[in-house]
Chain A
Amino acid sequence: MSCETTRERLSAYVDGELPPDEAAETAEHLASCAACAREYEAMLKTVQTVREGLVRHHAPDVLRARVRAALRDEPATARTAVRRRDWGVPWRAAAAALVVAVVSSGLTLLAADRRPAEPAVAEEVLASHIRSLMPEHLTDVRSTDQHNVKPWFNGRLDYSPAVPRLDDAGFPLLGGRLDYVHGRPVAVVVYGRRQHLINVFSWPADAGRDADPSRESGHGYNLLHWRRGGVEYWVASDLNATELQQFTTLLRSTDSTSTGAARPR
């Protein structure tokens, strides 16, 4: 057998993938040809180097969570090729789902001593807030004018949210959007503070007396919740607690006076 043929076979020979007769021929040739034997040694060393040097990656936790969350979103029975998402989109959809998953674990402690209903709402609010930070998710109506934002909600909701103007205090209005929290569509009014965003959620309260703002935090975000005049309010932001409290105080001072309190229609 020629040296050329032997060298072509070395790779498969090392892998033990040659048919028996070819393997025997190769072994025989290697025993009698020093040059090919050296090539064989070099091939062995190459295979060994590559095998030892190749990086085996560990899937990061965030990927594990993303995959689980994405799968959880899928129908219970695997169906054939329902093309629900195009390239690029799954990340966003799954990120939202991930947010729910992450938030669920993060808020558990904070909410441990609350009524069962509330932690779930806090999680949803926080998830919605984080989702809103993704591209094109922040606002459905983008306007710094309360007279554009407020009417936009009409006809889209069964109540009318407060859209006070707080620019003078350094909290410019950025817009509004509809979101889905606590099993119902809710109004979200978006304000800014420097590079921070503040989402103000509101919807008619199911029941319950007025409640003063209570604060929660999780994953670097602050949440404030209160109930007044039959409306549930949630404020979510990565703004520091002090300024968010200040914002809330402002909001509460205006919503009962000027541009229309949120009220059931």
Chain B
Amino acid sequence: MPESTRERFERTIVALLDDAYTLARHLVRDEHDAQDVVQEAYLRAWRHYAGFRGGDERAWLLTIVRNCCYTWRRSARPAQQTVAYDDEEHGDQETSAFAADTRVLEDADRTELRLALDQLPPEFREAIVLRELEGMSYKEIGRVTGAPIGTVMSRLARARGRLQAALRIGAREAS
């Protein structure tokens, strides 16, 4: 029996739910907001699925998720966009959320990393997530974020520079 559109969508797109949710969590941070965003993204994906000509499903879906995250940031919570607010509001909550599935000894490092990530502009953060978690090439990241490859390159370089400073990783005894 031939696979229906719905079955194909389920097999190829719904199967990427963890990826979608991970990106949303890193971009909007609050877990409930991230769930709302992901759900909206999947509805959009389904409505546009007929126009999807195949290819890289993950990049296609993450593009939609990413756009929904930005729509959410612009429309839903204009008051919450300041870095200071986010740190105050989400710090403890998110720490405890992932403390459950990581070893205690790693918590301090992870918290430090997360705080450092949260300080980054979203464009930097998404580049880092797409690169390090999704293993995307610069070209793929450019496709998802709508940025030229040169921009992707410089965003990643600057993001890593900032993370390196925040994590106090340094070239020792610089000459």
Contact = CB atoms under 8 A, between A and B. Distances in A.
Given A11-B157, A67-B14, A43 B164 contact: yes
A63 B132 CA distance: 24
Interface in B32-77: 34-36, 38-40, 42-43, 46-51, 71-72, 75-76
A46 B49 CA distance: 38
A68 interface: yes
B129 A54 contact: yes
Contacts of B131: 15
A50 B47 contact: no
Interface in A16-67: 17, 34-35, 38-39, 41-43, 45-47, 49-51, 53-60, 62-64, 66-67
Contacts of B20: 59
Interface in B140-157: 153, 156-157
A111 B36 CA distance: 32
A80 interface: yes
Nearest to B116: A50
Contacts, number: 148
Contact of B153 (A11, A50, A81): A11
Contacts of B50: 77-80
A10 B5 CA distance: 44
A47 B42 contact: no
Contacts of A39: 171
Interface residues of A: mostly helix, strand, loop or mixed? helix
Contacts of A66: 35, 39
Bin chain B's interface residue count.
Answer: 35 or more
A141 interface: no
Contacts of B175: 34-35
Contacts of B128: 50, 54
B132 A50 contact: yes
Nearest to B153: A12
Contacts of B153: 11-12, 17
Contacts of A80: 47-48, 50-51
Provide the main secondary structure of the chain B interface: helix
Interface string A66-88: 11101100101111111001011
Could you say which of B26, B36, B40, B170 has the most chain A C-beta atoms within 10 Å of its C-beta?
Answer: B40
B105 interface: no
A91 interface: yes
Contacts of A17: 137-138, 153
A43 to B, nearest CB: 7
A67 B42 contact: yes
B11 interface: no
A198 interface: no
A50 B163 contact: yes
Given A35-B175, A41-B171, A50-B128, A79 B17 contact: no
Given A43-B164, A47-B132, A78-B47, A53 B157 contact: no
A94 interface: yes
B160 A87 contact: no
B167 to A, nearest CB: 6
A168 interface: no
B160 A46 contact: yes
Which 9 residue pairs of A and B lie closest in terms of their CB atoms, listed nearest first?
Answer: A38-B171, A11-B157, A59-B21, A53-B113, A46-B164, A59-B17, A78-B49, A78-B50, A51-B132
Interface of B: 5-6, 9, 14, 17-18, 20-22, 25-26, 31, 34-36, 38-40, 42-43, 46-51, 71-72, 75-76, 98, 106, 109-110, 113-114, 117, 128-129, 131-133, 137-138, 153, 156-157, 160-161, 163-164, 167, 169-175
Given A11-B161, A58-B18, A87-B76, 5 more contacts: A17-B138, A49-B169, A66-B35, A67-B38, A87-B75
